[in-house]
Every structure is written in structure tokens, then in C-alpha cells.
Structure 1
């Protein structure tokens, strides 16, 4: 599930795309400054904890990156990432070189990853599912791995995380669920005691921006 929520143009004319996606999905990051031949295309990646590294260099995929097997270059010079993980969040830069000279302005894509993990009174996992056992307390954690301050986006962009049931009803309206949200960590947790009828029941983590749902 991919959703580019908006695109704003900086003073230099470069486009800044923000893409939100759930972990384990596949994503396509557009290169808005590509030339006719992707042999001029270089994709760089970095986040707040790492220096920039080349993923694609002059149209050729680098083999010494951890995500090598999950990357591919599209015919339109887009960067495709399979089975996205929470570690893939960060800034991706599409840059063009001709005869060793940088051409035009960079195209930058910010990838933000929504990741769900679960834990129970006797086990834990980084999966969206956990063992069903009536009487057991279970906690579901949904975290947005993002390259921005969650507090700032809560205030300025109306970012909101919530847990909903299969009908899309916000579970905070049901006293059976204890829901806590930390804007500092961009994480929302749901804790409940499992019932027999919870077998095959679905709870979903959703992200909204300005009251608009993002997958």
C-alpha cells in the first residue's frame, strides 16, 4: 500500500515527496528529474543516524548494500523496494550525472514506515499477529518510523495514529481497550485481555493526516 501524501516545491525547484507505507509492503519511489537514459541515474540514501550511501550508481545496483536483493531500478528510473522494513525509512535522493557532471536539481523522497509488533503475557514478536489464548493480555504496538519530529507533525499536519476494528471504528471508544499514544516516539499501543470470540478478529493501525486516511 503506497500513498504519496503531498509534494511541495522548494526554492530551488526540487520536489520533496513524502511516502507513507506499511512494513512488509513493496514501494516505488519516483525520480522526478530522470533523463531519457537511466544510466545517468544515481540513488542515494541516508537517515538521521547514517551518512549518505549509494544504492544505485549510474544505473547500476550496488552489491555491497544490506538491502541489495530487495532493490531494483524501474524503466522510468524509479527506485523499487520489496518487503519494506522499518529500517528502510529515511531520505532517498535521485541525482543525475552526465560525463561526471551533476545535472539539474536533486529529486528527494522521504519514506516513512508504519510498523506493527505484538507482545503477550508470555511471548513477544515483531509480527502483526500474535497467538490467541482467552484470558491472556496482549499489547499491540504501532510505530511510525519517520524522518521528522512526530510532535511537529501532530501540531502542523494533523498527524494522528489510531487503532480501529474491522468496521473502521476507533477502539478508544471501547472501554475494553487501553490505548496510549506517544507523539514523541510516534507510537500508539493497544492493550486488551483476549476473549474467546477474538479468534480471527482484526485490529488495524491507521494513520491520518488532516483527518484524511493514509494506508
Structure 2
């Protein structure tokens, strides 16, 4: 529907200012006399009468998204008759320089974000995997020219979270809102921090503001016995505009397990092509295992893959896999590995004493609390000090020793306990041998012959039963043990126990 628009310019002689006023002809309640009422007489000059599509004047649209999401900037086309081939998209971060992102319906390849831009059939502009550098003002302009009355303005603000060093005991999270430089600064208390229970964290923040961004800092303490989630919310008028999360996950496994390391990828992302995974085994080691969704070449790359959620899967884990992992979407995963070994490895337990070592391999090898590694016998009784067939060697850092002398079948269990919870356990099983002694009449008597025959028959039966049991055991599937499963759905993060494929945790 067409409507007549009138553009009026008011000239004020005393100040020399020219004031532009635009009103639709439909606003009949506004008269020229009302425009010039006041203490000072203004000279009204009718400069131009224009035709304009009613309601097509580009409105200001403000969008808020978190880093890593895909964003659609809607086009303010006057009507369906406008072809996208005449549409231009412009961008500027502040009030000074303006850049062309789309010219005559085609993405400008010289743009730093060209590979992530796409214009759909409605002339809306899509930006994939947004970063802080994408924040700013976008102008949708149908037709050529330096300025038209049909311009549509979209202001994109991007929320991101960064950290100082999450491997340290105390580290700082910084939540930043990147915005267009011509907008007002953020108001006080624009940011709100929540923990994994939804409880607001107060008295620990430091809020700042500048022309291009507003930010809030939160200092937290690393706690290895808990999975933590810190949420930063941008609030305007008691309404949450956007939020971002920083997640810490602690996984505990045994050698040979399959480990699934979760990644907090935004739900709007349609692929893992922007996902990176980094790995640290210690302070002096920093490797990139996955870059842009591709597993990098390394001695263990054949055991690594990404699932559809961009989680990192490591098969048949061993001592080389323990450490700290970082997904590019603000998720830190600490992979801890519990193993039992014997010293010497080929010791004969029926003759010699030998020592079992229970080790928890983690990013900080000496960061296990005292008495966090416990030894239990097959009855579940804790083994401390010295007792029948064993002697405790104590705990040193993340290693605990137990000296044993096995004369029969016995099982020893090592548990890692933190926060009064058993995080993981492993078993050492020794199968002892049996000896049979007999006494009776001399072998030359008939009774001796009968007894010998019975013994041979019994021995044959025992061998047959043993072979059958071994074959039956070989066909059985391993029993499922403890597994920690991580599930993320948009703004919800759950941690729960589930069954897993058990590996050969017992070392013989």
C-alpha cells in the first residue's frame, strides 16, 4: 500500500539550525500551526514532498548472540518485487569506516568474513560461527547510492567468555559483550553470573565498559572433585538478552576404556568445521589434536574421532591420554586414568613377595589428597598397615603401594576417593594353583588299583569341566562398570552415571 510522506525542514534564524521533521500524511492530527507554536517564531519552509512506501522505513533491530552461533540478519525489503540482485549489505564497527559485505546480491570476497557469509532467497544475510569481530552495525540497502530512505539497520552484539588459565588453582573468567561503537555503554549491573545450580554469584565480580565492549570478570577456584558450570547473562530491563557458559568436566577411566570428551557446541551450529581441541599433559606440553573439525596427525590420531556433537572420542585409552583438554566452545575436560601395575612385572606370587602400585594419572600428577587412594581385599575390607599376606606401603602423591604374598586366589581393589565419593576403582586378580595330596594302601593291592582308577577318572572330569568353564568365560561379554555420560542440550548440562564398556582393568 502506498502512502504519501512529507519531509519538512524547519529553519530557526537565531541559532541557524535546520531541523528535519518527517511525518506521514496519515497523521492528520498534526497541523502546521502546531509545528510552529512556541515562544519563538520559526520559519517553515516546505522543501520536498516525496512518495514513500508506508512502513518501509528501515527500523533498528538489535540482535544478541553468543560466540560460535549462526546468525540470520533479516532484510527489510519494501516488497517482494525487489530482487536480491540489487540488494547491498554494508557493515561498520564504529561511526568512522563502513565496509561492503554484499554488493548487488553477491558476497564481496575481499571481506574477512566472506567464507562465513551467505544471502538467502529473502535477501537476509547469514553469518556462520560468529566471533567478536562480527559485532557491529549492518545496513541492508536496496539499490545503489550512498544513502536511501529504505535502509534497514541491524545491530549485532556478541557475547563471549575467555579465561586466564583454567589449569591454575585460581583463575579468572571474563564475560564480554562486543557491540557497535556508536551505541551507549552498558548500564550498571548488566551482567549476572550463575553457578551450575542456578544460584547467582555476587560480591566476586568486576564490571567495566568501553566504547566497543562491556565486560564482567569473575575469579573462581578450580575444584577437581566437581563438575562446574559458570553462566554469564546479559540483562536489560530484568530480561535476559543472551547468555554464555564456561564448563569444567572431570572424567575418570581405567586403561583400555573408551573416553567421550564433551564439547559445549551451540545448538545453532550445523557442523564441527569450526571446532578445535587442544591438549596438555603437563605445564610444558600444549598440542592441538583437532583443528577445524579435523583430527591432526599424531601417534594417537588413529584412536581419535569426533561424533556429531563434536565430542572428542578416544578409544583404548592409556597413560599417554591422561591430561587436560579444551574444546573451543569454553569447555575444559580433565581426563583422569587409574591403573594398577606390579613390580617386578613377572614376579612369581607363589614364591616371592611383590608390590602393587595404584596410580592416578592426571594433569597435575601430585595433586591427589592424602588418603585418597585406598586398597581393599575381596571382602571389601580396607587394607592398612600390615596383615595376612599384605603390607601397605603408603601413598605418595597420586601413587599408592601395597606389598603382597599370594598363595591362593585373591583380588585386590584400588579406589580413588575425592569429596567422599568413589570416583573410580580398578582390580588386580591373581589366580592361584591347587595341589591335591592323597594317602592309602600300597599300590599293589586291588583297593589301590580301584582308588587309582577313580582318581584318573576324577582328574579327566576335572580337566573337562575346566576346559568347558574357560570356553564359556571366553564367550561372555565383559561386565559393564561405571561410566560418566555428559549430555548438553542448549542451555542444559546434565551429568549422570550409566553403563559402559569395561576394559581389561585387571593386570596380570
Partner residue of 2:100 out of 36, 49, 54: 54
With over 3 angstroms needed to count, the CA separation of the structure-2 counterparts of 1:49 and 1:119, relative to structure 1, is farther
Q: Deviations over 1:103-161 (max 9, x none)?
A: 651000011111110112xxxxxxxxx44x6xx111100011112232xx416xxx711
Partner residue of 2:200 out of 163, 170, 180: 170
**Retained in 1: the 8 A contact 2:177–2:215?**
yes
When normalised by structure 1's length, the TM-score is 0.76
Q: Deviations over 1:45-82 (max 9, x none)?
A: 01117511111111111111110000000111111000
What is the distance in 2 between the residues matched to 1:76 and 1:56? 14
**Retained in 2: the 8 A contact 1:96–1:102?**
no
What residue ranges of structure 1 are gaps of 5+ in the alignment?
A: 1-9, 121-129
What is the distance in 1 between the residues matched to 2:218 and 2:230? 9
Partner residue of 1:141 out of 167, 170, 174: 174
Query: Residue 5 of structure 1 corresponds to which residue in structure 2?
Result: none
With over 3 angstroms needed to count, the CA separation of the structure-2 counterparts of 1:45 and 1:209, relative to structure 1, is same
Query: Residue 181 of structure 1 corresponds to which residue in structure 2?
Result: 207
With over 3 angstroms needed to count, the CA separation of the structure-2 counterparts of 1:35 and 1:43, relative to structure 1, is farther
With over 3 angstroms needed to count, the CA separation of the structure-2 counterparts of 1:11 and 1:92, relative to structure 1, is farther
Q: Secondary structure at the match of 1:69?
A: helix
Partner residue of 1:26 out of 66, 70, 90: 70
**Retained in 2: the 8 A contact 1:116–1:143?**
yes
What is the distance in 1 between the residues matched to 2:132 and 2:112? 14
What is the distance in 2 between the residues matched to 1:139 and 1:169? 19
Query: Residue 158 of structure 2 corresponds to which residue in structure 1?
Result: 113
**Retained in 1: the 8 A contact 2:88–2:104?**
yes
Query: Residue 76 of structure 1 corresponds to which residue in structure 2?
Result: 122
What residue ranges of structure 2 are gaps of 5+ in the alignment?
A: 1-20, 24-56, 243-508
Q: Could you list the runs of 4 or more consecutive aligned residues of structure 1 that deviate by over 4 angstroms after TM superposition?
A: 100-104
Q: Secondary structure at the match of 2:65?
A: strand
> Aligned-residue CA RMSD in angstroms?
2.5
- Point out which structure has higher relative CO (alpha carbons under 8 A, 6+ apart): 1
- Count of matched residue positions in the alignment of Structure 1 and Structure 2: 183
Compute the displacement of 1:14 (Å).
2.5
More deviation in 10-19 or 108-117?
10-19
Computing the radius of gyration from Cα coordinates, the structure with the larger value is 2
When normalised by structure 2's length, the TM-score is 0.34
With over 3 angstroms needed to count, the CA separation of the structure-2 counterparts of 1:11 and 1:193, relative to structure 1, is farther
Query: Residue 240 of structure 2 corresponds to which residue in structure 1?
Result: 213
What is the distance in 1 between the residues matched to 2:234 and 2:198? 12
**Retained in 2: the 8 A contact 1:34–1:41?**
no
What is the distance in 2 between the residues matched to 1:194 and 1:204? 16
Compute the displacement of 1:204 (Å).
1.0
